[in-house]
Structure formats: C-alpha cells, structure tokens
Amino acid sequence: MPINFTEQSTLHVGIIMDGNGRWATGRGLPRILGHRAGVEAARRVVEAAPDSGVGILTLFAFSSDNWRRPPVEVDALMRLMAVYLQNETPRCVAQGVRLEVIGRRDRLDAKLCAAIAQAEAATAPGRRLWLRMAVDYSARDAILSAARGLPELSRDALERAMGPPLDLLIRTGGERRLSDFQLWESAYAELVFTRTMWPDFDAAALAAALREFRLRDRRFGAVPQVPVYRQQAWLD
C-alpha cells in the first residue's frame, strides 16, 4: 500500500553520512573515492529503507559549511551529486521513491540544479519512500528562512513550514554531534551514533540502528509507565 507521508505513524530517519574521506585516507586512496563509495552506501540504504519500515529518509549530503573544503574536492562532490541524480532517477521511479532536495540552490551550478529539478519532477508520484537529500544545507538557515516566510510567527506555523519531525537520527563515522542538521526537526529524535564509516554502512547497519531505536522509551516529556533499560547512544 502506498505510504501517506502525512501520517504520524510514518517513520522518519535522518542520517549524517560521515566518514567518506577518512575511509579513503585510511586505505591510501584519494578522498573522492571515499565519496564515490559513499554513493554506493546511499543506494543500499535507500533500497533497504522501505522494507525496514522507513517512510521518510533524509540524508545529509553536503553542509553549507562544506564550502570550506578544498575547491578541488568541492567541485568533485558537485559533479558526483549531478551524476548520482541522473543515474538514480530511473531507479527511484521504478521503486516508487519520491526525491526532494532541501537546502540552498543559489550557490549550486546550473548543471546540478537542472539535475535536481529533473529528478524531483520525474519522481514526484513516488509513494513508497520519500527521500530527502540535504545539499548546501544549514538547519539554522532553514529555520530563519521558514520563519521569514510566515505571515505570522507561531510554533505551529513554523512546525508546518519546517517539514516532518525526525524520529531517529543516525550519525556514522564516530562523531557525536548534530553539525547543523535538522535542529528543529530533531527536538525529540532518538540519537544513534556508530563508529562505522559511511561507505561501510549497509542494510544490516540500518536494521541494527532501527532495533536500537525500537528499544528506546519515547516519552516526549511524560512519565514512563514502567522502568525501562536505557542503552547508550553508541550503536556498536
């Protein structure tokens, strides 16, 4: 049955895809090869997500702060994203995946913007998975932009403007911080951190994170009904 993305029961998972460069460096490879391996990891996770109960998947592909990286690496990343979108659009259409890119577009080159627009239009009918890719994205900027677009500022209005709240936030690569990703949407997200580098992340790793998530007692500020076992945030 097609997923109704507005249903509260739809599980929304966000992933900070970290560790591509370190994965490559540790193998004596150029950093861009780590990013290419990360593309394969993204494909595996997107394919596994719907059957794992995930209805919305938000992937942090490129932070607004990533412009500080060497221009050669940034240029290679932009080309890689354009190729990814072109290659994956037919697969997304076939698998019922709706693709949306969130973040700024005014600093992206014309070729990448065209690839984004084409992918979004082609995949719009998809109802099996809503795949959101954060490109040139800053959560603080997103909150400011949403607030400025409201005729009257209120918590409910801003909630609607920001998009679906996260249920689970996964960060790969061993770091334990949000790095300006989905700050508003993560207000009550469960956080899972793993030392696994993103290129090594796969369907089994996603399943493990979801098992950890389902062990958590999500009280949203209320009192627990019964004592629960609290696991550490580390997945591994």
66 catalytic residue (yes or no): yes
Beta bridge partners of 192: 170
Residue 156, both tokens = 């409910």
User: CA 127 to CA 1: how far, in whole Å?
Assistant: 9
Torsion angle in degrees (nearest 10) through CA of 67, 13, 177, 221: 140
65 catalytic residue (yes or no): no
Query: Residue length, the chain?
Result: 236
Residue 207, both tokens = 């399943």
Of 20, 66, 106, 141, which is the active-site residue? 66
User: CA 117 to CA 102: how far, in whole Å?
Assistant: 12
For 79-128, give the secondary structure using H, E and C. Answer: HHHHHHHHHHHHHHHHHCEEEEEECCCCCCCHHHHHHHHHHHHHHCCCCC
Of 18, 136, 167, 180, which is the active-site residue? 18
Query: What one-character DSSP code corresponds to residue 15?
Result: E
Report CA torsion sign: 148, 150, 155, 158: negative
The residues annotated with a catalytic role in the active site are: 18, 66
